[in-house]
């Protein structure tokens, strides 16, 4: 055998190896779940749609370190007691009604007859209590545990100073769940779509962050679809749950959540027909303009810029005001990408549904005037008053932001405008994402970008972030007037008056104290097949849900 | 020969030890914590760090980690709560399949193009091949991959672009992975092949009246292949350890994608585990290539 032939044989071995590996890959296909499989309809045209999801780390356990994957999954597989309908009213799912005592501290939920898990076992209050109790262990890794502090003794249990059994939840019988709160909360029902208020099977889901949640045999669903297949980093296959308490509302047979990391790839996959629904970005706006495929929804995300109150000269309110009113938000939006961002001077997401004036479904930003307006002359005057006429003697500040396209556009635009309008120098410092979070949480910055997405559909998801004791108050905001107004709103039981107080609270924070500088509001761009109908917009996040969607032929 | 191999293996083990040590301390130097996120309290971070032993002195953690590695335990991914060994085992098949197929494609097509370029008499074809080689070497991977996706996926709608669920799904990612290596290999083959073509033994072979393909494969290529084999080592290591760009653009669940997200997540154990794995692959690939070189060219001695 010549040496060359030896080399050839090495090639052949390698190619055989590749083929055998390919064969292994093929054999990996998991079996479908026994849960409910017998009852699912077979034959005929399967009505299946494919939705893109972003691959992300995290568990599917509502009590664990849930993340983007969880949200995509839970929207279909898990059912809350109550959820918000598009018009701001409540859609009762597992509960059929809820009695609330006079001062909004005791919530009694009555379960629907026939509420069940996908293996047919009944869904009871114990399943909801199971999640809450597990999420009050700090080792659970849930980012939503602090919402349980509203429940009586929740905080004390989390901090280890009370026994878990003293939590203010009880189940007098199999059909009744009573939740007692620490203090009155008008928007408690709006919180119920957060993971920690979702159910997990009291007998099967006992290990927090355990691998049961990825196993179709043990991961049960009480929502419209159950987990039939889970292939890590690739897809989640969900099938119609025959035991869903409102199964008459389901039209699809199955939903496949397909993991695609890159947005441009996802847009291509939409064009090839590999997905029916995908989130997209401004690059598709021109191409799909006026077509049914394109859905544009304002997202509940606010972009704003933190000013460090603990550092000179930002501790001076005159300086903060000058910085706040010397920037043109339209210019920032234009540089960040028209169509993906809107200029805003509100801190609260401007499309949040308001209850001012008896809840006519008006949006937060529509019912009052903008909080800040561009006024360069006044800004220059203020800066002079603060001792820096024409920007003279003003120290160079650094502006920290994570190296991401939109954040860079905001920072660059603000830097240029401050230079031009006030004559001050700001140095840009693009950082890696984790480093930026780390510096921000440690208060190690002069100016830092910030972004916040509503956790629930009430302005307090934004407005409660900057009290002296709040864990997100990274920039040292300290305002007695703001905290007083916020406390007043917490005690106000009448919705319209409460919303007026909340508007006042925001005004003090943004346009009196100039605590930080709101700049942009996010916009969600979605591509979806025009064949889909009955898509529900969930007002909590202003994102479309497809659980009750229909598919035209 | 056996002694040499043994020596090389020992050097490899020492390299691994240095790799583990340096990586262990380097990842800890990165600012940030694996548990820090937008919505997690300081108390929770502390509680999780305690659970994973991150509150202990760094040296203790290091010794503990070394002990575990010796037992084949690479720890648990902080972000995914799954053992690192499982994660590597899960990502490896996809990465290996794409990598090996891309390697075979690159080797066969690269060598073919190289020979063609060296032996063609048409200036047009040579120009074409030279421009491809230049393009392939200089075009960044993400541009190639996106071009393939847009042209064959979105425009022509001829090929799928997400995942690896059918044989058709392999076509675009494999081409995207092989595109650069093909160019490099063809350039290497072209230069050494044209050099070898001038040799006396080739003229001799021609004079003997051998068939052109026999001359080409048996006489010229055999002598021209050496620099290419040397390149195979790093190339196969590069292809087998996965490409972040190709894996994330084509949504392939491989380890290249895992690696990058592990770093940005500060998932210490996963970063370390993948470094060890990839380091191992590179060391083995280089060893095999050195042995191959000795097999192909007896003048190369391994025992020094």
Closest CA of chain A from B178, distance in Å: 15
The pair phi, psi for residue A474, each rounded to 5°, is -90, -15
- Across the interface, which of A17, A268, A438 has its CB nearest the CB of B100? A17
What does the mean pLDDT of chain B come to? 86
- Chain A hits for B40, CB-CB cut-off 8 Å, are 141, 143
Given an 8 Å threshold on Cβ–Cβ distance, is B96 in contact with A21?
Answer: yes
Residues of chain B contacting A274 with CB distance shorter than 8 Å: 160-162
pTM check: above 0.80: yes
Contact assignment for A25 to B97 by CB distance below 8 Å: yes
Q: What is the DSSP letter of A510?
A: I
A143:B153 CB<8 A: no
> Model ipTM?
0.80
- pLDDT per residue over A436-484, tens digit each? 988 998 899 999 999 998 888 899 999 999 998 887 899 999 999 999 9
Min CA distance, A507 vs chain B (Å)?
A: 25
DSSP secondary structure letter of residue A508: I
The pLDDT of residue A363 is: 86
Which residues 136-175 of B are in CB contact (within 8 Å) with A?
146, 149-150, 153-154, 157, 160-164, 170
Q: What is the average pLDDT across A512-520?
A: 96
A18 touches chain B (CB under 8 A): yes
DSSP state of B140: -
User: Is the CB of residue B266 less than 8 Å away from at least one CB of chain A?
Assistant: yes
Do the Cβ atoms of A265 and B149 come within 8 Å? Answer: yes
- pLDDT tens for B204-228 read 888 888 888 888 877 788 778 888 8
% of chain A residues with pLDDT over 90: 65
Per DSSP, chain A holds a count of helices (H) and strands (E) of 13, 21
In chain B the beta strands, taken as DSSP E runs, fall at none
Interface of A with B in 25-84 (CB under 8 A): 25, 28, 55, 57-59, 65
B163: region left, alpha or beta (phi > 0 left; psi from -120 to 50 alpha): left
* Residue B102 distance to chain A (closest CA, Å): 10
Q: What percent of chain A has pLDDT over 70?
A: 91
User: Backbone phi, then psi, for B183, in 5-degree steps?
Assistant: -60, -45
Residue of A nearest to B159 (CA): A272
Q: Is A339 exposed, middle or buried (0-12, 13-18, 19+ CB in 10 A)?
A: middle
Scanning A74-133 for CB atoms below 8 A from B yields none
Q: Where do the domains of chain B lie, and which CATH numbers do they carry?
A: 2-70 (no CATH), 87-296 (1.10.3720.10)
Which residue of A lies nearest to B163 if distances are taken between CA atoms?
Answer: A234
- Range among A80-84, B128-132, B141-145, B297-301 rated most confident: A80-84
DSSP output for B216-244:
IIIIIIHHH-HHHHHHHHHHHHHHHT--H
Does residue A259 belong to the interface with chain B, where contact is any CB pair within 8 Å?
Answer: yes
């Amino acid at each position: 055998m010549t040496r060359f032939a030896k080399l050839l044989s090495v090639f052949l071995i390698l190619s055989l190896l590749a083929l055998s590996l390919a064969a292994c890959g093929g054999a990996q296909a998991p079996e479908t779940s026994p849960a409910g499989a017998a009852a699912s309809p077979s034959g005929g045209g399967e009505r299946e749609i494919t939705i893109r999801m972003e691959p992300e780390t995290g568990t599917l356990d509502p009590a664990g370190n849930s993340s983007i994957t969880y949200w995509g999954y839970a929207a279909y597989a898990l059912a809350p007691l109550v959820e918000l309908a598009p018009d701001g009213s409540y859609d009762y799912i597992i509960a059929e009604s809820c009695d609330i005592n006079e001062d909004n501290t005791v919530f009694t939920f009555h379960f629907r007859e026939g509420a069940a898990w996908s293996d047919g076992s009944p869904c009871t209050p114990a399943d909801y209590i199971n999640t809450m109790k597990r999420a009050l262990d700090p080792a659970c890794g849930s980012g939503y545990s602090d919402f349980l502090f509203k429940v009586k003794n929740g905080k004390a249990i989390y901090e280890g100073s009370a026994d878990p059994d003293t939590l203010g939840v009880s189940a007098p019988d199999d059909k009744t769940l009573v939740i007692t709160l620490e203090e009155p909360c008008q928007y408690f029902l709006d919180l119920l779509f957060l993971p920690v208020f979702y159910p997990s099977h009291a007998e099967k889901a006992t290990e927090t962050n355990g691998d049961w949640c990825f196993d179709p045999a043990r991961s049960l669903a009480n929502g419209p679809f159950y987990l039939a297949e889970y292939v890590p980093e690739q897809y989640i296959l969900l099938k119609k749950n025959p035991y869903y308490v409102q199964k008459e509302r389901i039209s699809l047979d199955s939903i496949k959540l397909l993991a695609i990391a890159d947005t441009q790839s996802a847009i291509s996959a939409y064009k090839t027909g590999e997905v029916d629904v995908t989130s997209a970005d401004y690059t598709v706006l021109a191409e799909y303009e006026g077509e049914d495929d394109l859905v544009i929804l304002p997202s509940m995300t606010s972009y704003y810029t933190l000013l460090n109150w603990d550092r000179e000269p930002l501790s001076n309110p005159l300086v903060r005001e000058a910085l706040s009113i010397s920037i043109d938000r339209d210019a920032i939006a234009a540089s960040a990408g028209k169509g993906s961002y809107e200029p805003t001077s509100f801190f609260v997401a401007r499309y949040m549904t308001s209850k001012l004036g008896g809840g006519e479904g008006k949006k937060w930003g529509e019912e009052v005037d903008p909080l800040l307006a561009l006024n360069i002359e006044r800004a220059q005057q203020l800066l002079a008053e603060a001792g820096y006429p024409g920007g003279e003697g003003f120290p160079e500040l650094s502006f920290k932001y994570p190296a991401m396209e939109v954040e860079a556009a905001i920072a660059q635009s603000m830097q240029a405008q401050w230079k031009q309008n006030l004559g001050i120098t700001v140095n840009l410092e693009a950082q890696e994402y984790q480093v930026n979070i780390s510096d921000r949480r440690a208060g190690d910055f002069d100016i830092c970008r910030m972004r916040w997405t509503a956790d629930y559909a009430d302005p307090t998801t934004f407005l409660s972030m900057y009290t002296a004791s709040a864990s997100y108050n990274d920039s040292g905001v300290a305002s007695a007037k703001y905290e007083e107004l916020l406390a007043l709103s917490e005690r106000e039981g009448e919705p319209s008056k409460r919303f007026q107080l909340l508007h006042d609270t925001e005004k003090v924070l943004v346009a009196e104290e100039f605590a930080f500088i709101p700049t942009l509001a996010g916009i969600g761009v979605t591509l979806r097949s025009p064949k889909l109908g009955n898509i529900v917009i969930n007002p909590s996040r202003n994102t479309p849900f497809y659980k009750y969607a229909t598919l035209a032929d | 020969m056996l002694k040499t191999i043994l020596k090389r293996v020992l050097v490899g083990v020492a390299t691994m030890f240095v790799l583990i040590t340096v990586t262990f301390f380097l990842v800890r130097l990165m600012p940030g914590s694996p548990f820090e996120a937008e919505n997690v309290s300081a108390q929770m971070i502390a509680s999780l760090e305690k659970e994973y032993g991150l509150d202990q002195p760094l040296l203790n953690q290091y010794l503990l980690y070394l002990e575990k590695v010796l037992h084949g335990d690479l720890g648990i991914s902080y972000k995914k709560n799954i053992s690192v060994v499982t994660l590597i085992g899960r990502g490896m098949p996809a990465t290996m399949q794409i990598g090996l197929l891309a390697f075979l494609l690159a080797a066969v097509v690269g060598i073919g193009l190289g020979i063609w370029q060296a032996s063609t008499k048409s200036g047009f074809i040579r120009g074409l091949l030279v421009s491809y080689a230049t393009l392939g070497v200089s075009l960044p991977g993400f541009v190639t991959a996106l071009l393939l996706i847009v042209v064959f996926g979105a425009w022509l709608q001829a090929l799928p672009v997400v995942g690896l669920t059918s044989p058709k799904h392999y076509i675009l990612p494999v081409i995207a992975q092989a595109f650069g290596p093909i160019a490099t290999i063809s350039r290497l083959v072209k230069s050494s092949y044209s050099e070898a073509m001038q040799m006396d033994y080739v003229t001799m072979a021609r004079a003997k009246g051998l068939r052109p393909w026999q001359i080409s494969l048996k006489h010229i290529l055999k002598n021209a292949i050496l620099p290419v084999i040397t390149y195979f080592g790093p190339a196969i290591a590069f292809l087998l350890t996965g490409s972040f760009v190709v894996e994330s653009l084509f949504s392939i669940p491989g380890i290249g994608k895992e690696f990058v997200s592990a770093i940005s997540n500060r998932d210490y154990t996963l970063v370390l585990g993948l470094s060890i794995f990839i380091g191992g692959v590179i060391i083995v690939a280089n060893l095999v290539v050195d042995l191959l070189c000795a097999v192909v060219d007896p003048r190369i001695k391994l025992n020094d």
